[in-house]
Every structure is written in C-alpha cells, then in structure tokens.
Structure 1
Amino acid sequence: MQTFLVILLIAAMLATVVALVRGIVIFLKTTEADLKGEGPSVSATRSNKMMQARILFQAIAVIIVVLLLMSTGRG
C-alpha cells in the first residue's frame, strides 16, 4: 500500500512541476498585442488553466502525503 502511495505521490509531484513549467512558458510567450487586447487573451486563459491544474496537483500530493503519514503512524 505504501509503495503504491509513494508512486502516486511522485506522479502528482511530476504533474505539478509540468503544470508549473507549462504555465510559466505560456505566460512568458504573452505578446504585447495580447496585453493591449480586449478581455482575456488566449495565452492568458491557457496560463491561468495551467496554474489551476498546478494547484489541483499540489492538493492531490498533499492528500497523498497525509495518507502516507497516517499509514506509517499506525504501523
């Protein structure tokens, strides 16, 4: 059980890093035209969605850590 949770934790951490890097890259590719446009641009929306995904993956990782700590505390 613990091995499975560790693997899930590593996957959640990798997903967090990937979402963070993709969000930053998309943010850095924002052009001046995007900034002067009306309403949110496509790149701003993508960057926002990647940052939301990062938060989700971080929450999953924290939950897995809590489960790991609870399972080791009982043994």
Structure 2
Amino acid sequence: MTIFLTLLLIAALIAVVVTLVRGLATFLLNASADAREGSEGPSPSAVKSNKMMQYRIFFQAIAIFIIVLILFIGGARS
C-alpha cells in the first residue's frame, strides 16, 4: 500500500513541476506582447497561464494529501 502511495506521490509531484513550468513559460513568453497590446481585460495567454497555476495548486493539494496519508499509515504501524 505504501509503495502505491509513494508512486502516486511521485506522479503528483511531477505534475506539479510540469504545470509550474508550463504556466511560467506561458506567462514569460506572452507577458511582453500583452503589455504592448494594451487591450482591455485578460488576454488568452494570461487566462491560460492562470489556469495552469490553478492546476498546480490542485496537484499540490493532492500531493499534500498523499503525504499526510503516508504519514498516517506509517504512524498506525508503529
């Protein structure tokens, strides 16, 4: 059971890193172009970057939950 949770934790941490990098890349690549345009409201790239950061927070919450579960199971065995 613990090995399965460890693999899930690794997958969740990889998902956090991937979404963080994608969100930052989207933001950095399009921030200067968005500033030059000066249009009203959020640009499509800003919306995409924001969505990626929301996914990152979701995956972080999953990773924290798995860590708590692993610690709980490990404590119950002692």
TM-score by length of 1: 0.95
Moved more, 13-22 or 34-43: 34-43
Provide structure 1 residue ranges, at least 5 long, that are not aligned to the other structure.
Answer: none
Deviation at 1:34, TM superposition (A): 1.9
Q: TM-score scaled to structure 2, two decimals?
A: 0.91
**Alignment match, 2:34:** 34
How many residue pairs get aligned? The number is: 75
1:11 equivalent to 2:11? Answer yes
* Sequence identity (%): 57
Change (3 A) 1:31 1:56: closer
Q: CA RMSD in A?
A: 1.0
Structure 2 gaps of 5+ residues are none
